[in-house]
Amino acid sequence: MKAIRVHEFGDPEVMKLGETSDLSPGPGEVVVRVHAAGVNPVDTYIRTGKYARKPDLPYTPGIDAAGVVQAVGEGVTRVSQGDRVYTAWTLTGTYAEQVLCKASQVHPLPDHVTFAQGSAIHVPYATAYRALFHRARAVAGETVLIHGASGGVGIGAVQLARAAGLRVLGSAGTDKGKALVAEQGAHHVVDHHDPGYLDQLRELTGGKGVDVILEMLANVNLNNDLNALAMGGRIVVIGCRGTVEIDPRGAMSRDAAVLGVVLFNTPEDQMAGIHAALVAGLENKSLRPVINQELPLVEAPQAHVAVMESGAYGKIVLTP
Ligand code: NAP
């Protein structure tokens, strides 16, 4: 089968399309014929070799995929050959024609959800869900700022928060991104490059501040976030690409909390619950992943450049 292979860590060009052996499932495993593989920023960090998690070389990149079950191993009853599924973690990497998963790592993909959309669920939506409900413990009636709402995680968070009865404020850095965030359910959208947007947030909350902030770029925003919070507010740091100086008094004066989240830390039973909720949201159509661009597998290097550029508009997906 064809797969992207990485033989050395480095720039996007280290990803080469090559041939590897076809996969067959062992007991409790499933082989999925990949129709789409989602591209996440973390795939680029791993490719550089500087991320906390380093796969053994050579490896096939990619965490998220959707496709059709091609073969099931002994003892698998959860899915059958021919089922449409999306993956949540894999054993072999998703930038490939086939991927091997534990049976617990595949979830049903409703018929109305495209494969491209299916490959945009696990990392973005599970992170958004865990940040919003497990870490921030957001509840209906609260106000949430999705700080960076135009990308994969942000759009997921907007849809999840809106469906759960929160008041949703979102930010984006382009007019196109702002329009998308509004279309996906945000009650108000601000531009995080606009010098006056923090004042707008204050006005939008009647001076009270927001209860929860899901932060996509903490190294830029964390100090401002502290001052945008309501009493008892919570910030969940989802994305951070450097260090930042903060004045902790912003947190003290509000009894506020700064929380971290990393999807890799999710216990297995919690992940099963998250995906049960995500599948329900796909079924009732409150969750609708937005695809920006579909590229052939061979263009994985271009996809890794694009996913790190500003002006996000949903997900970038590779099609084998
Ligand atoms: P993405 O699709 O590339 O989206 C990036 C988002 O960040 C866009 O909405 C972008 O808006 C926004 N952004 C850019 N500059 C910003 C600023 N100054 N203030 C606020 N937002 C800004 O990436 P993603 O998949 O949504 O992931 C978002 C971040 O979370 C990435 O850093 C990723 O590595 C991280 N992440 C972490 C976890 C975890 O487990 N902790 C899981 C998934 C993702 P514009 O482009 O419109 O400016």
Q: Is the CB of 150 under 6 A from ligand 1?
A: yes
Q: Is the CB of 273 under 6 A from ligand 1?
A: no
Q: Would you write out the chain's pLDDT as a tens digit for each of its 320 residues? A: 999 999 999 999 999 999 999 999 999 999 999 999 999 999 999 999 999 999 999 999 999 999 999 999 999 999 999 999 999 999 999 999 999 999 999 999 999 999 999 999 999 999 999 999 999 999 999 999 999 999 999 999 999 999 999 999 999 999 999 999 999 999 999 999 999 999 999 999 999 999 999 999 999 999 999 999 999 999 999 999 999 999 999 999 999 999 999 999 999 999 999 999 999 999 999 999 999 999 999 999 999 999 999 999 999 999 99
Packing angle of the helix pair 218-228, 197-204 (nearest 10 deg):
40
Please tell me the number of Cα atoms within 13 Å of 212 on its side-chain side. Answer: 27
Q: Is the CB of 151 under 6 A from ligand 1?
A: yes
| Cα of 25 from ligand 1 centre, angstroms | 35
Q: Give, for ligand 1, the residue of 129, 153, 181, 261 to mutate: max count of ligand atoms closer than 8 Å to Cβ.
A: 153
| Cα of 316 from ligand 1 centre, angstroms | 13
Burial class of residue 187 (count of CB atoms within 10 Å of its CB; 0-12, 13-18, 19+): middle
CA nearest ligand 1 atom 18, residue: 192
| Cα of 35 from ligand 1 centre, angstroms | 25
Spans of all domains in the chain = 2-121+289-319, 123-264
Q: Are 24 and 99 in contact (CB under 8 A)?
A: no
**How confident is the model at residue 298, as a pLDDT?**
98
- CA 258 – CA 108 distance, rounded (Å): 34
| Cα of 240 from ligand 1 centre, angstroms | 9
Burial class of residue 72 (count of CB atoms within 10 Å of its CB; 0-12, 13-18, 19+): buried
* CATH T-level topology, domain 123-264: Rossmann fold (3.40.50)
| Cα of 71 from ligand 1 centre, angstroms | 35
Packing angle of the helix pair 152-163, 268-283 (nearest 10 deg):
70
**Among the listed residues 318, 320, 307, 47, the one whose alpha carbon sits nearest the alpha carbon of residue 152:** 307
- Atom nearest to 311 CA in ligand 1: 46
Distances (CA, A) of 74 to 29, 37, 85, 100, 103: 8, 26, 19, 14, 11
CA torsion 177-178-182-187 (nearest 10°) is 140
* CATH T-level topology, domain 2-121+289-319: Quinone Oxidoreductase; Chain A, domain 1 (3.90.180)
Report yes or no on whether pTM surpasses 0.75.
yes
Tokens of 45: 């960090």
Q: Give, for ligand 1, the residue of 216, 225, 235 to mutate: max count of ligand atoms closer than 8 Å to Cβ.
A: 216
| Cα of 81 from ligand 1 centre, angstroms | 36
